């Protein structure tokens, strides 16, 4: 497999930025346990900590995909819904008050 590098950025030292596709392929190799992390490190010349980080990110991302398919909504959507329901309730109370007071018809 060929190492795909998007670009090299110089920030005091040369840093390689890899594509998401490459990162996922390397992480999948560690998950499959066909080779040890040390062998994969030598094969791609990447630090073992970086490979472990990519593996962890892949596993966390997979959990999010499974949760989303089962209908679990992201926390932000649940909070938005609760805030909207609260606002609707408050507006209904204000509307009823104005109707009863005769200020609003």
3-state secondary structure of 7: strand
Looking at the structure, tell me whether residues 9 and 38 fall in a common domain.
Answer: yes
Looking at the structure, tell me whether residues 25 and 45 fall in a common domain.
Answer: yes
pLDDT in tens, the chain (105 residues): 555 554 444 455 677 888 888 988 999 999 998 888 899 999 989 999 999 999 999 988 887 776 665 666 666 766 788 888 899 999 999 888 888 888 766
Structural domain count of the chain = 2
Looking at the structure, tell me whether residues 68 and 36 fall in a common domain.
Answer: yes
Domain coverage including residue 13: 1-72
Looking at the structure, tell me whether residues 11 and 62 fall in a common domain.
Answer: yes
Q: What is the pLDDT of residue 33?
A: 82
Looking at the structure, tell me whether residues 43 and 78 fall in a common domain.
Answer: no
* Tens of pLDDT, residues 70-99: 666 666 766 788 888 899 999 999 888 888
The residues near 24 (Cβ < 8 Å, ≥ 6 apart) are 54, 58
Looking at the structure, tell me whether residues 68 and 78 fall in a common domain.
Answer: no
Looking at the structure, tell me whether residues 49 and 94 fall in a common domain.
Answer: no
- pTM of the predicted model, to two decimals? 0.53
Distance CA 31, CA 58 (A): 9
């Amino acid at each position: 497999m060929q190492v795909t590098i998007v670009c090299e950025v110089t920030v005091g030292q040369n840093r390689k930025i890899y594509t998401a596709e490459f990162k996922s392929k390397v992480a999948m190799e560690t998950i499959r346990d066909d080779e040890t992390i040390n062998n994969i490190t030598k094969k791609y010349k990447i630090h073992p900590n970086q490979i472990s980080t990519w593996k962890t990110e892949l596993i966390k991302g997979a959990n999010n995909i499974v949760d989303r398919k089962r209908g679990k909504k992201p926390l932000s959507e649940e909070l938005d819904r609760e805030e909207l329901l609260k606002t609707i309730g408050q507006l209904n109370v204000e509307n009823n008050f104005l109707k009863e007071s005769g200020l609003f018809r």
